Amino acid sequence: MASLCFEMNRSNNAKVKLCSKIHHVPAAMMCVFLYILQASVLDYYLINFINILYIYFLVADLFVLHTLVVSIIFGRTKMVRQRSAELAQTRMMVSLSWVSWLLININTSAKIIIIIEYNAWPVEKDPSFFGPNVFKTAIALSSCIFLFLLATQHDAPLGSDRRTYISDLTDTVVFDILDTVDILEVFFDKEDRARLWKGLDKIILAEATLNLILPAVPLITLSRTHFGLDKPKRPMMHFHQFLVVLVVNLPNLLTRMLLWHGMSLDISPFTLKNIILIGIAMYEFYEHKKEKLEDSRLISLEIGDRNYQQKNVKRRNLGSLPDQTTKPRSKVPEISIELEEPKIYTQVPRVSLV
């Protein structure tokens, strides 16, 4: 029985070691697979519904795929060196995840704009599988790609300060990408699209492009801080929250209000998401300013208290010295008289009578 328990424990330890070695391999494989799937679906829309010449997008896809694989391998190498305590070399290595994400979504955004401009999907009467829903799903795959790409770049333990810092910067990315997919819904209905004001479609496409590219900013921030190994700077975190509000939630909210009240189009549930995140960002900004004001007030009080204590010490030192200013002066000059000491004879002089 003891030998059986020993063998089970040994096998479990071997499984744990194996899982720790291939910890990021499934995430890397899923990241690469989802990117290939997304690129393939969008290329199908371009080639099948517009022009076969768009097959040249495959060159860009292969280049982006190569960059993605390199960034994953680079992140893996960086984590291995961190575990082996080669921190000096690790500090010199910077994550390339933001480069791959930037290239992925520049390429994806170009395809999305072309497909929407040419209405490159089957008409409603055509029961083709590759309709608007598959197109929207392909765009939404960017959220999954981001999560798996992020998982390949760090090994922060769950519940640690590093993990909390990473979550604070990246928690809203998935919802922002889904928000982007939802705001493109207006292009898939001919009647709704015909009612759009002139130039509004360009504004919506520009917002969607920025929303897809914006997650590169938290990846750059995480790369600069080595995914929480260096002490994160709070101003950078607040800047990121402000940027998300300014670029994603506020424009999307205004666009939805315009489509709802100006053109009587259907309202989206993501409107509440925009309002909630704007409110949360403003409240956190208020808390930050309040904390900063309290810190400055405490510092000023400490400085005043320190100056007061120094003045008290000086007063005590002055009080312990003799007061020479109140010593009376005599008007009569002092006269010193020196008297010679009397000579004392120890022997009586002899007198001779001759």
Give 179-245 as a DSSP string.
HHHHHGGGGG-HHHHHTSPTTHHHHHHHHHHHHHHTTHHHHHHHHHTTTTTSPPPHHHHHHHHHHHI
CA–CA distance, 95 with 75 (Å, rounded to integer): 6
Question: Which DSSP helix (H) or strand (E) runs through 282?
Answer: helix 270-320
Which band of pLDDT confidence, cut at 50, 70 and 90, is reported for residue 246? confident
Range 313-321 average pLDDT: 60
Confidence of residue 65 (pLDDT cuts 50, 70, 90): very high
Spatial CB neighbours of 64, under 8 Å, sequence gap ≥ 6: 35, 39, 100, 103, 104, 107
Measure the CA–CA gap between 8 and 294, rounded to whole angstroms. 58
For position 223, what pLDDT does the model report? 87
Lowest-confidence pick of 97-106, 171-180, 261-270: 261-270
d(CA 169, CA 220): 11
Full-model pTM: 0.76
What CA–CA distance (Å, rounded) separates 287 from 295?
Answer: 12
Residue 252 has pLDDT above 70, yes or no: yes
pLDDT for residue 222 is more than 50 = yes
Place 345 in a pLDDT band, splitting at 50, 70 and 90.
Answer: very low
Sign (positive or negative) of CA dihedral 79, 85, 91, 93? negative
User: What's the half-sphere exposure (Cβ side, CA atoms, 13 Å) at 201?
Assistant: 20
| pLDDT value, residue 351 | 47
Number of helical H runs and strand E runs in the chain: 15, 0
Residue type, 303: I
